[in-house]
Amino acid sequence: MAYRNDQRLPLDESGVGSGPVLRLSVNPRARRLSVRIDARAGEAVVIAPTERGLIQAVAFARTKAVWISQRLAVRPKGRPLEPGQVISLRGRPVRLEAVPGAGAARLVEEGAVIRSGGEGEAYARRVENLLKREARDTLLERTDHHLRALGQKPVKMSIADTRSRWGSCSPHNRTIRYSWRVIMAPPPVIDYLAAHEVAHLVHADHSPAYWSVVERLVGDHKPWRKWLKDYGGALHAVGR
């Protein structure tokens, strides 16, 4: 059987029931077959370097069925952006409050509170827009810092809401895209993400040479990679 990129399959080979789903992904930069959990989408992502390799990757994933089911069962549940909710901004707790009218969201009380007008979806949209602005400002500053450290020219940076990836870099057209949700992480994690993407301008892969560039920029990066692995799912659940 041939598989294709972005195809979805049941984890259970029999295809019976409504259990966990495998999403197939072809990544030419992948050095091996792998499986990761997309907590936000509630899927297991099966990764192979080529479409031909997806056959072996799917077989490998199905040997991990118990692990996949367990990880998906404990993924964080959605946390709406609504008054009374406490979220994180740069690793610090921030309380959401409502005010009359339709005013834009703003940080008050030395950044410990976000106040916004609007109700329901309009309220959530205003808060999310504030978080995106904060993310853009911070990531732009950290990206420029690492570009200067490596003697690299400016890049085009954008903010998105990707389903699982925290960032991506396209060296050929010098563009970097980040998930705005990383603004909820502690500053060293944000800084690591910026270094991670900027380093791809030097090495497009994840070779030892690439990781040496990341280490040159931020020192020991392993704790911050682990933080995203351990707590990233909770950030992806905010506002869902």
Question: What are the pLDDT tens digits along the chain (240 aa)?
Answer: 688 888 988 888 765 556 788 999 998 888 888 998 877 677 889 999 998 899 999 999 999 888 888 888 777 677 789 999 999 999 999 999 999 988 999 999 888 999 999 999 999 999 999 999 999 999 999 999 999 999 999 999 999 987 668 999 999 999 999 999 999 999 999 999 999 999 999 998 889 999 999 999 999 999 999 999 888 888 888 887
pTM listed for this prediction: 0.74
Secondary structure E strands in 161-218: 167-170, 175-179
The Cα-based distances of 172 to 152, 212, 217 in angstroms read 13, 21, 22
DSSP-derived secondary structure letter, 47:
E
- Cα(212)–Cα(23) distance, integer angstroms: 31
Q: What's the Cα-to-Cα distance from 20 to each of 72, 113, 150, rounded to whole Å?
A: 8, 38, 43
